[in-house]
Structure 1
Amino acid sequence: MTPDAEFSYELLVCRYAELAWHPSDGLGDDLRPSIVARQLGTKERRWDTLVIEVDPAAFAARRRFGDRTMDSDLLHVVRHAPAEWAWYRDALPHPGYPWRYVRQAVHRTAGRDLIEKRRDGNRIRIRRKRPYPDWVERIVAIENKPDLDRSAADRLADQLAHDVETGLADEAWLATETTGERVEPALLRELPVEAGILATDFSGGVDADAADVAWHPSGLAPAEGERRDPETETLRLEIAERAYGKGWRSYHETMRPDCRHFELRREGRALVPYCAAKEKVPTSRECSGSCPSFSPEPPQWRTKGWPIEGGPGKGFKRVLARRRARERDRAESVE
């Protein structure tokens, strides 16, 4: 299948990245342990796909903090929590905003069992349970554009130029459908030379051989011996945390898998949502309670071959959750 919508193409690119990252490395032992997410970024920039390359041992240590995202306030507490008991104002660097908000974050962090907390008179003392690891190796941004016409290329050129200039990501790519021409049209567009081009062919479904590198990217990280400023490093970690908690299979959170027309269909080694009523991969906007074809699954479906606590919709969510957990396990175990 060649996807007829950017949303479905985006999902296939995400699955390909899970199977075969890094594409310039080839396959087999050269695969880099990583997690994949979609539609994340900053106030100024949102990326279609993000690949977070991880250090396996440090990633295993991160997983011991749980499966949920840590927001910026929680990270501020967890990263700086002391090894020995201390008043939180002495232990944590000033956040740049009133301490009462830090106090609230301390309570939230302890409520999630990420740190230890106790009261000493009017003071709240904290102690870490374990050090927060340096688990992020690299952040790779991918823009997905299956049909790269000239107007789309012009818009992407500005976006990719922003990525190159800011250096928030370590690498930037464009993923586009291959045309089979001797010279891929993407190579003739005015795109930043630092951005890589990934030519994909998902007509036979997704597998590790479904893409070729048409142009190799340049690294965007600081030169050896240089470092990013602390604010940028913190922002990168916040993005990685959101990717860790959200992943790319979270599309079910903005869709209606409890509709009788909602299905998961296989495209090679990928599972993508499918609407049997519209006979297509729907977008989140289309797959909603306001859709004219929306029809809630009948209650009896939940007692005929499905667990009592839910019908097929809950089953779809469990399948996607298991697949996300499996990919986390794989990233942790890669040597």
Structure 2
Amino acid sequence: MYPDHEFGYELLVCRYAELAWHPSEGRRPAIVARQLGTRDRRWDTVVIEVDPEAFALRRAFGDRGLDSDLLHVVRHAPPEWTWYRDALPDPGYPWRYVRQAVHRAAGRGLIEKRRRGNRIECRRLRPYPDWVRRIVAIENKPDLDRSAADALADQLGHDVETALADEVWLATSATGERVEPALLRSMPVEAGVLTTEFAGGIDEDAASVAWHPSDIAPATRDPETITRRLVIAERAYGKGWRSFHETMRPDCHAFELRRAGRGLLPYCTAKKRCQTARECSGSCPEFAPEPPTWRTRGWPIEGGPGKGMTALLARRRERMRDRQVDAQAAGER
């Protein structure tokens, strides 16, 4: 099954990256997410290459991502009990928000806190690890016509200039021509080009490198950029790329998951094709919610097919995150 829109193509690129990253330099431990970035720039696919040993330590902080306020607390929490305003760097915004973050961090078991007199003290349970090795940004454009190429050239040029990511790529469908059209467009030479052949389904050989990217990481990064990168990595850790069920309606009669090789894609039996995230909503004229009685079922449905599909996607996200830890454990044996 091959989707005919960019949303489905994006999911296939994410699954390929999960199976076979890095496409030119051999397997690297990594987690994959989509539609992440900053206020000024959002990337289609984000690959976070991780240090397996440090990633195993990150797993001890739980399955949810840490926002910027929590990161401020967790990264700087002291080893001994200390008043939080003495322990943490000046955040550049009111301390009351830091105090709220201290309470949230303690509530999630990320740090310890106690009240001593009229002061809130905190201490770390464990050091926050340096688990992110590299961040890779991928723009997905299956059909690269001239207007799309012009827009992408500007976006990829911005990525190269800001160097928030370490490497940037364009992923596009292979045409079979002697010289792929993507190589004839005015793309930044620092950006790699990945040509994909997903019609036969997803596996490790479903893409090839048409142009190798440059490493655009600067020799040093300022603390603000380091924090921005870590926020992106934490969002990728918590969200993953299978979170499309959160913005679609798996509780609809017509919603299914169908195989595309080693991948799973959302499929609408009413439209008889892979639907887009925008189409799959409660306002769709074909939307037919599951009967309430379905949602009260027990094992193996656990609340109906929609709940079952949501649980399946969540389990697959957890399995891929745990695989990075298992790889480290296997290397130690």
**TM value normalised by structure 1:** 0.96
Question: Following the alignment from structure 1 to structure 2, what is the Cα–Cα distance between the partners of residues 88 and 48?
Answer: 38
- Match 2:124 to one of 121, 128, 151: 128
State the match for 2:18 in structure 1. 18
Using the TM superposition, give the Cα deviation of residue 305 of structure 1 relative to its aligned residue in structure 2, in angstroms: 7.7
Residue 3 (structure 2) pairs with residue 3 (structure 1): yes
- Match 1:287 to one of 277, 280, 284: 280
State percent identity of aligned pairs: 77
> Counterpart of 2:127 in 1: which secondary structure?
coil
Using the TM superposition, give the Cα deviation of residue 330 of structure 1 relative to its aligned residue in structure 2, in angstroms: 1.2
State the match for 1:262 in structure 2. 255
Question: Following the alignment from structure 1 to structure 2, what is the Cα–Cα distance between the partners of residues 171 and 280?
Answer: 34
> Counterpart of 1:176 in 2: which secondary structure?
strand
Using the TM superposition, give the Cα deviation of residue 283 of structure 1 relative to its aligned residue in structure 2, in angstroms: 1.5
State the match for 1:31 in structure 2. 27
Structure 1, unaligned stretches of length 5 or more?
Answer: none
- Match 1:65 to one of 27, 40, 61: 61
Using the TM superposition, give the Cα deviation of residue 314 of structure 1 relative to its aligned residue in structure 2, in angstroms: 0.4
Question: Following the alignment from structure 1 to structure 2, what is the Cα–Cα distance between the partners of residues 299 and 307?
Answer: 17
State the match for 2:317 in structure 1. 324
> Counterpart of 1:199 in 2: which secondary structure?
strand
Residue 216 (structure 2) pairs with residue 220 (structure 1): yes
Question: Following the alignment from structure 1 to structure 2, what is the Cα–Cα distance between the partners of residues 308 and 217?
Answer: 46
Q: Indicate the RMSD between aligned Cα atoms, in angstroms.
A: 1.2
Using the TM superposition, give the Cα deviation of residue 181 of structure 1 relative to its aligned residue in structure 2, in angstroms: 0.4
What are the superposed Cα offsets for residues 99-136 of structure 1, whole Å, 9 maximum, x if unpaired? Answer: 11111111111111110000000000000000000000
Residue 111 (structure 2) pairs with residue 115 (structure 1): yes
Question: Following the alignment from structure 1 to structure 2, what is the Cα–Cα distance between the partners of residues 51 and 289?
Answer: 31
> Counterpart of 1:49 in 2: which secondary structure?
strand
What are the superposed Cα offsets for residues 217-273 of structure 1, whole Å, 9 maximum, x if unpaired? Answer: 000111xxx311110000000000000000000000001100011000000000011
Amino acid aligned to 1:12: L
Using the TM superposition, give the Cα deviation of residue 303 of structure 1 relative to its aligned residue in structure 2, in angstroms: 6.2
- Match 2:186 to one of 165, 184, 190: 190
Q: 1:20 to 1:98 in 2, by over 3 A?
A: same
**TM value normalised by structure 2:** 0.96
- Match 1:230 to one of 223, 229, 243: 223
Question: Following the alignment from structure 2 to structure 1, what is the Cα–Cα distance between the partners of residues 34 and 134?
Answer: 16
Amino acid aligned to 1:276: T
State the match for 2:269 in structure 1. 276
Q: Does the Cα contact within 8 Å between 1:54 and 1:136 map onto a contact in 2?
A: yes
Question: Following the alignment from structure 1 to structure 2, what is the Cα–Cα distance between the partners of residues 304 and 317?
Answer: 15
Using the TM superposition, give the Cα deviation of residue 302 of structure 1 relative to its aligned residue in structure 2, in angstroms: 4.4
Question: Following the alignment from structure 1 to structure 2, what is the Cα–Cα distance between the partners of residues 221 and 304?
Answer: 52
Q: Does the Cα contact within 8 Å between 1:171 and 1:219 map onto a contact in 2?
A: yes
State the match for 1:181 in structure 2. 177
Using the TM superposition, give the Cα deviation of residue 2 of structure 1 relative to its aligned residue in structure 2, in angstroms: 3.9
Moved more, 301-310 or 226-235: 301-310
State the match for 1:152 in structure 2. 148
> Counterpart of 1:272 in 2: which secondary structure?
strand
Structure 2, unaligned stretches of length 5 or more?
Answer: none
Following superposition of structure 1 onto structure 2, how do residues 75-90 of structure 1 map, counting pairs within 5 Å?
75-90=71-86
Q: Does the Cα contact within 8 Å between 2:200 and 2:261 map onto a contact in 1?
A: yes
Question: Following the alignment from structure 1 to structure 2, what is the Cα–Cα distance between the partners of residues 297 and 199?
Answer: 40
Using the TM superposition, give the Cα deviation of residue 307 of structure 1 relative to its aligned residue in structure 2, in angstroms: 4.5
Question: Following the alignment from structure 1 to structure 2, what is the Cα–Cα distance between the partners of residues 138 and 120?
Answer: 41
> Counterpart of 1:66 in 2: which secondary structure?
coil
Using the TM superposition, give the Cα deviation of residue 308 of structure 1 relative to its aligned residue in structure 2, in angstroms: 6.9
Q: Does the Cα contact within 8 Å between 2:301 and 2:308 map onto a contact in 1?
A: no
Using the TM superposition, give the Cα deviation of residue 17 of structure 1 relative to its aligned residue in structure 2, in angstroms: 0.1
> Counterpart of 2:24 in 1: which secondary structure?
helix
